[in-house]
Amino acid sequence: MATAIYLEHYLDSIENLPCELQRNFTLMRELDNRAEEKKGEIDKLAGEYITNVKNLASEQRVEHLQKLQSAYTKCKEYSSDKVQLAMKTYEVVDKHICRLDADLARFEKELKEKLAVSSQESPEGRALKKDIRSLKDKKGPKGRGQKVSEEDSPRKKKFKHSRPEIKDSVLAVHSSDVLDMPVDPNEPTYCLCHQVSYGEMIGCDNPDCPIEWFHFGCVDLSTKPKGKWYCPCCVEEKKKI
């Protein structure tokens, strides 16, 4: 019941999002076309000026340069408007993503609170436990990267695709490249390197693992291991027991 309420409220909040995004993308395309037209006009004016500069009087040169400057200023305005609109569009989408993250965290917290006061042996208690595990499996790490899938694990490990659809060429990203990318301060970090999610990642099979998700390169993996996998930290902890 609670799941349905959260879902209903979230779907209501994003009802107008597709139309808003389509409108912004259409306007960005128009601004881009205008900027390209102005760039063509600037190239034409510059070519004419270079060709005829020796035959132009002083006043004509000034007039020609003023036309060039005016066209350049207009092109710059179109480009700036497009960038501002792109930033606004990103903020709109990011706001909804943050709300979804907050709703998921709040929903999980409520499930844990209900589980704490209910009998663990009752059917209701077992159902709540199942809901919590299902919610954790669906969340996964949030960020730029794409997670590998797991089909042959007994409990279907928590690998899921992240929010964006990313091409294969983007998956070959290294941590040094990520450090150069602009990072949202609200974006969570993972792995031993404490960076955002990127490329292929693997989840530790220890349910109490404090980190949970790791980049392949940071744990010396090149392919998905078969069976259960535990991170270096959890392996060391197991040795101490």
Is 19 flagged in the annotation as binding?
Answer: no
CA distance 140 to 181: 22
At residue 98, φ and ψ (nearest 5 deg) are -60, -40
- Contacts with 19 (C-beta within 8 Å, 6 or more apart), sequence order: none
Spatial CA neighbour of 74 closest among 38, 30, 33? 38
Is 234 flagged in the annotation as binding?
Answer: yes
Which contiguous run of DSSP H or E holds residue 213?
strand 213-215
Q: Residues 85-94: contacts with CB within 8 Å, 24+ apart?
A: 85/24, 85/27, 85/28, 85/31, 86/28, 88/24, 89/21, 89/24, 89/25, 89/28, 92/17, 92/20, 92/21, 92/24, 93/17, 93/21, 94/184, 94/186
Is 98 flagged in the annotation as binding?
Answer: no
220-238: b or e for each residue (b if 16 or more CB lie within 10 Å)? ebeebeeeebebeebeeee
Is 75 flagged in the annotation as binding?
Answer: no
Binding site, by residue number, is: 191, 193, 204, 209, 215, 218, 231, 234
Binding site for Zn(2+), by residue number, is: 191, 193, 204, 209, 215, 218, 231, 234
